[in-house]
Structure 1
Amino acid sequence: MKVLILGATGLVGRNALRQALEHGSIETVIAPTRRALPAHPKLDNPVSSDLQALLPEMARRPVDAVICAMGTTIGKAGSKAAFRHVDYVLPVAFAKLARQQGAGAFALVSSPGASLSIPLFYCRTKGEVERDIRAIGFESLTIVRPGMIGGERDEFRLAERMIFPLAALLRPVLPRGLRINPAANIARALVAAVAAALPGERMITSRDLS
């Protein structure tokens, strides 16, 4: 099968890319990125500083499934509009194209705060992307809502550096839903979901990933 991975340079996306390339039933991984990835015999890596500009090229690369691990923060993106472009516009645009080309399975990294009823911009954007991915009509849809994501990021996040050591210390007594979710575990759930492509919708939460 051919799998499209969005967000392959991020913490979860890097893990999903590695696992997908190692997966026996995945023949090709297509990973559009802003900077080139290390070469691999199974990897097709279109590169552009503007990912949306790759959509016409992606129309010539039909896939069987999509893993979307795209995500940023408003601080890193620089504005609400830029954040929405990464977390909503691009995932929905690539999802629509992949579905039109015949993709049957989609796995999305979302957020435990995703909601259309919460006025917070971040939560509402996550709720909107979940809603609109559902509306595209994939035969198999998996939404993953991890809690705190553990792993080595490219960028420094002060809050994580402060909270993670405490969370690790308290792990034995913390409820499963409040434990750190290793990025590799999240990626494993994503890859397994598209490889199995079970009909219907599934929700995977922090309790399932710790």
Structure 2
Amino acid sequence: MKLIIAGSTGYVGTELVRQALAHPAFTSVLALGRRETPIPPNLSSGVDQSKLKSVVVDDFENYSDDAKKQLAGADACIWTIALTPGKYRSVPPDQGAKICRDYAAYGIETMSNLPRAEGSKPFRFVYFSGSGSERDPAKKPLIMGEYFVLRGDAENRILGYAQKNPGKVEACIAKPGMILSPEKHGVLIHAAIGLGSMVLGFGKIDVRVLVAGLLGQVVDGFEKDTLAPADLERLGKERWEKTKAGGN
């Protein structure tokens, strides 16, 4: 199985690359980003690092012929490219919309139309969103409302495209709460994230557990088109326990 990981240098993307390289179902891991993607640290022993192929794209609304050639034949994509709420505030609204919504909408259309082997299953696309996103503009949240409605609009567009192209593409929206990284976050940050998740009601999840669950969904097929925090926790823990036990 050939997997595209869009946004492969972020800490979620790095964990996706790490676990995908160790997963026997993935024969090729295409790391899509604006710069070269390095081999992630702390790989399991015996992992075939040659499965990783770095695909550099300067404009996510205009893929070069070379990039399309490298991405052709892929079976699935996990899209993590977006802005956090804090970073969204620091860019103009039109730029924020491009990064959080337009790039992904163009990505699923471009990738699902690339040449694939005859008889392939539908192209599987995971859009990495957040538990605070809102698909109904009439229910705009009081805090960071523009941002969360934008993310919800992205979800609508991704799911809408899949609905219009049955048999060709399948889409899933992953809506985790706050994500903990044992490598990136120290004890104090973990505590702050835990407190924030309680106050905001978004929940929290270990990035390793989250990634294990998402990769399992890509391999086995989507349980449903929207995975809420509780779904991701359940699916992730099931897969993470198998991974720690030496299975996938």
Alignment TM-score, normalising by the size of structure 1: 0.80
Alpha carbons of 1:170 and 1:149: their partners in 2 closer, same or farther (altered >3 Å)?
closer
**CA distances 1:102-149 after superposition (whole Å, capped 9, x unpaired):** 552111211112223244211111111111111222643321111111
Please, which of 34, 49, 52 is the counterpart of residue 43 of structure 1?
Answer: 52
The percentage of counterpart residues that share the same residue type is 23
Please, which of 65, 69, 78 is the counterpart of residue 67 of structure 1?
Answer: 78
In structure 1, give the amino acid aligned to 2:67.
Answer: M
Q: Which runs of 4+ in 1 moved over 6 A?
A: 160-163
Q: What CA distance in whole angstroms lies between the structure 2 residues aligned with 1:135 and 1:193?
A: 20
Q: Secondary structure at the match of 1:97?
A: helix
In structure 2, give the amino acid aligned to 1:127.
Answer: G
In structure 1, give the amino acid aligned to 2:84.
Answer: T
Q: What CA distance in whole angstroms lies between the structure 2 residues aligned with 1:48 and 1:152?
A: 29
Alignment TM-score, normalising by the size of structure 2: 0.69
Q: What CA distance in whole angstroms lies between the structure 2 residues aligned with 1:208 and 1:201?
A: 10
Q: Secondary structure at the match of 2:224?
A: strand
When Rg is computed on C-alpha atoms for both structures, the one with the higher figure is 2
Q: Secondary structure at the match of 2:25?
A: coil
Q: What CA distance in whole angstroms lies between the structure 1 residues aligned with 2:126 and 2:152?
A: 15
Alpha carbons of 1:17 and 1:7: their partners in 2 closer, same or farther (altered >3 Å)?
same
Please, which of 93, 101, 125 is the counterpart of residue 106 of structure 1?
Answer: 125
Give aligned pairs, total: 201
Q: Secondary structure at the match of 2:83?
A: coil
Q: Secondary structure at the match of 1:25?
A: coil
Partner of 1:81: 94
In the alignment, is the contact (CA less than 8 A) between 1:142 and 1:193 conserved in 2?
Answer: no
Residue 14 of structure 1 deviates from its aligned partner by: 1.2
In the alignment, is the contact (CA less than 8 A) between 2:175 and 2:227 conserved in 1?
Answer: yes
**CA distances 1:29-81 after superposition (whole Å, capped 9, x unpaired):** 11221221125301121224444443533332231111111121365352222
**1:43-192 correspondence to structure 2 within 5 Å:** 43-60=52-69, 61-73=72-84, 75-76=86-87, 78-101=91-114, 104-115=123-134, 116-117=136-137, 118-119=139-140, 120-137=145-162, 139-151=169-181, 164-166=190-192, 168=194, 178-192=202-216
Unaligned runs of 5+ in 1: none
Alpha carbons of 1:79 and 1:151: their partners in 2 closer, same or farther (altered >3 Å)?
farther
In structure 2, give the amino acid aligned to 1:38.
Answer: P
Unaligned runs of 5+ in 2: 40-48, 117-121, 163-167, 234-248
Alpha carbons of 1:75 and 1:203: their partners in 2 closer, same or farther (altered >3 Å)?
closer
In the alignment, is the contact (CA less than 8 A) between 1:2 and 1:63 conserved in 2?
Answer: yes
The structure with higher relative contact order (CA 8 Å, sep 6+) is: 1
The CA RMSD measured in Å over matched residues stands at 3.1
Alpha carbons of 1:27 and 1:161: their partners in 2 closer, same or farther (altered >3 Å)?
same
Partner of 1:202: 225
